[in-house]
Structure 1
Amino acid sequence: MRRRKSARTRISSREMVTTSIHALPEEVLIIIFSYCSYSELVDCLQFVCTRWQQVSRSKLLWKNLVYAPGADVRERDIIVKLRRSPRLQAVDFSMQVEVSADMVRTLGQSCHELRVLHFAGSQDVSVKSLRSLQMNCPDIEELSIADLIFMNIRKVKVLADFTRMKTLIVKGINKRYDTVELIANEFPHLEHLELRNVLFTKKDLEHLMERKQDHLSVLTLCCSTRDHYCVLPYLSHCTHLKSLTLERLCRHFELLPFEAFPNLPTVSFLMLTFGGFLNISYCKAFFKSFSQIKELHLFLCQVYESDDIISLFARECPLLQKITFNKCYGLLNDQRVMELLFLKQLKSLTIISDHNITDKAMEYLQNLPNLRYLSFYHCDHITEKSLKILSDFPKLEFLEFSHCKRMSKKSVMYLKRKLPHLLLRMENPIRT
């Protein structure tokens, strides 16, 4: 009996086609290389072959890469990596104790497409090296300078020649010249400005706000003395301001000068840090000034127990979607959490280090229709009962109970069974 021939067609060795990674098109290689780190691109892929070197230098691969060497990396190794990174667009030297002139010079000579630069001021950085950086990398849009005490007026004037600058972050105190006045006169396209521990006068601040009012949309001011209250009246010049962060507004146990806040209906993000006592008579005018905010973050703000600030801003700011209370002593309790029900658009709530919140507050939070993100950190009076209450909240997407000591493993497993889609974070030891 003859054996039936197989239906499969046999292919001779000559007809077989050998496929390797070198046969892949450039678009596919870029997708594969996108999973590689900065060190793998610079130290490995570029030395495989000429084609891989060309593909590894594609703009798509370098768009989101940041080179941030640690403090233990030698200067020679940094210079070598910069020379191998002609497409590099972001460098963070803030971890380096000493940034040398050779590092800055090599950065300008090798990385002509640089867009973001963060570095700490250093005595070794010369005016000549900064000028070389400015000439070779004119497209820098974001610049962060720390330890300004090491920068003299000639160096800062060179940095002011980056005419395309949109984001400027200045940290450190320097009493030898008026940094704010220089910022006001230069950087014509500045949109994001952060001034931390930079001394300035009332005249400098007024001049800055008037010059930048047409472009400035993000402003952060970290004030170190009481004299910086003069910042408040001049914020009205910034008609396009969307994000406002004020740090160290006043010392503890002093009233925040909310009556000095101007009307800023364009601000949607507000953060207040290192504040003092919040008085309801001041807060009423304050929250009317920011009636359109969508994000509110309060840090180290205190209230008198008789003042219900929560009820006030819940009615004056109906568009709030995200709220953070960080060490706001006396501001919250279970009954005041109920006032948050007026915020129908609230999606995220974070409460940190508040010992007045108990399981009763969870019953009120269940009635917020759009709440998706809920986080509690160091709230010692919250127990495992809260997990059972929140298990009947199917719309919840993220839940965190970090360092809340009264949680049991049994209640956590119960919540996971009830809400399998929920992303749950528990960073504290759980009782068995």
Structure 2
Amino acid sequence: MDVLPNEILLLIFSHLGVEDIVTRAQHVCKRWRLLCARSGMWKDLVYVPGKRVSEKEVYEVIRQAPKLRRVCLDRSMDTDTFIDNVRRFCQDIRELRVTPISWCGLSSRHIRALVTRYPDIETLGVSLGEESPRESLQLIGSLGNLRSLELFGFNSEDWVGEWRVLADGCPSLERLDFSCYGLKVTPEDLAYFLSRKKDLLRYLRVTCPRLDTETVKLLGQCITLEELRVVHMPQDTPVDLRPLVGLPRLKSLGLRY
């Protein structure tokens, strides 16, 4: 292995998982450690902690991976400790997804800590656990480089109007998904959002209990839209959906009743 050029070693390393790099490869020798420390090595690596791995082992991986840029947590762990460890040891997180395992979501304190630590984050998937998410959404809206946002939440019937702070922020947002775990958006809020993001959106998935003519008209003006999913749409929707047919880049359309 000593005779292999760096380019070949990096190609081999690119097929390893985060755990293999952190706990094995970078400890073999000084040369390998320096190669593993290159930022390019971590560009596309995603750390997804295994469900059978102890929390102690998860935190040890995070501690030894300061270049880690992408993390997806979809197992039960103490959220406070997990986020604190990521913030403490990972220098430049660009993708963070914390899938809700319980009914608890992230508070505005968590969101503020993440936004402050990683202002250039590009992909974010979090659960909002508060009755009113305004402060959290305002913080998320301040992220200038955010391109993809996936929101989980519960009991959102009282969140009318709260979504508009996202429409007024997130200038780079291309992908939006708030169709999971009961998040519902009114046609008025959706129309407001589309009126400001129709020239940027490439992917939209939303739970909307009803569609009106204005909302469908605005959807038909989203000329960059490639995928559209509307969930829980009433079967007796009287609105003419033909404006959606003319979307020039649309590759996938799903209307779930």
- Interval of TM-score (by shorter of Structure 1 and Structure 2): 0.7 to 0.9
Q: How far has the Cα of 1:176 moved from its partner?
A: 4.3
**3-state SS in 2 of match to 1:22:** coil
Q: Deviations over 1:34-62 (max 9, x none)?
A: 23222110111122222211111223332
Percent sequence identity over matched residues? 24
Q: CA RMSD in A?
A: 2.7
Query: Contact 1:214/1:238 (CA < 8 Å) preserved in 2?
Result: yes
8 Å contact kept, 1:164–1:187: yes
Cross-structure match for 1:186: 169
- TM-score (norm. length: structure 1): 0.51
The partner residue of 1:137 within 115, 118, 123 is 118
Which residue number in structure 1 is paired with residue 76 of structure 2? 97
The structure with more radius of gyration: 1
Distance 1:158 1:71 in 2: 31
1:28 matched to which residue of 2?
Answer: 8
Give the aligned length: 248
Counterpart check, 1:219 vs 2:204: yes
Mapped to 2, the partners of 1:164 and 1:105 lie a distance apart of 22
Letter in 2 for 1:106: N
Looking at structure 2, the residues matched to 245 and 56 of structure 1 have their Cα atoms a distance apart, in angstroms, of: 40
Q: Is contact 1:108–1:134 with CA below 8 Å preserved after alignment?
A: no
Instruction: Find out whether 1:61 has 2:41 as its counterpart.
Output: yes
Question: Match for 1:265: what amino acid?
Answer: L
Structure number with higher relative contact order (C-alpha < 8 Å, ≥ 6 residues apart): 2
Deviations 1:127-175 (A, max 9, x none): 44433322232221111224x3457433333333322101111233324
1:87–1:222 CA distance, 2 compared to 1 (3 A): same
User: What one-letter code is carried by the residue in structure 2 that aligns with 1:268?
Assistant: L
Alpha-carbon separation, structure 1, partners of 2:148 and 2:123: 4
TM-superposition CA deviations, 1:371-426 (whole Å, max 9, x none): xxxxxxxxxxxxxxxxxxxxxxxxxxxxxxxxxxxxxxxxxxxxxxxxxxxxxxxx
Cα pair distance change 1:156/1:103, threshold 3 Å: farther
Counterpart of 1:38 in structure 2 is: 18
Q: 1:233 to 1:149 in 2, by over 3 A?
A: farther
Q: Distance in 1 between matches of 2:168 and 2:255?
A: 29
The two structures have a TM-score, normalised by structure 2, of 0.82
Deviation of residue 220 (structure 1)? 1.7
Q: Which residue number corresponds to residue 220 of structure 2?
A: 236
Structure 1 residue 204 and structure 2 residue 204: aligned?
A: no
The runs of 5 or more residues in structure 2 that have no matched partner are none
Residue of structure 1 aligned with 2:251, choices 234, 251, 269: 269
Which amino acid is 1:44 matched to?
Answer: R
SS for the counterpart of 1:249 is coil
Q: Deviations over 1:303-345 (max 9, x none)?
A: xxxxxxxxxxxxxxxxxxxxxxxxxxxxxxxxxxxxxxxxxxx
Deviations 1:51-102 (A, max 9, x none): 2111112233322221111444433322221111122221111x22345222
Distance in 2 between the 1:261 and 1:268 partners? 13
Q: Tell me which amino acid in the other structure corresponds to 2:17.
A: S
50-59 or 70-79, which deviates more: 70-79
- Paired residue secondary structure (2:205): strand
Name the counterpart of 1:107. 86
What amino acid sits opposite 1:182 in the alignment? V
Q: CA deviation at 1:109?
A: 2.7
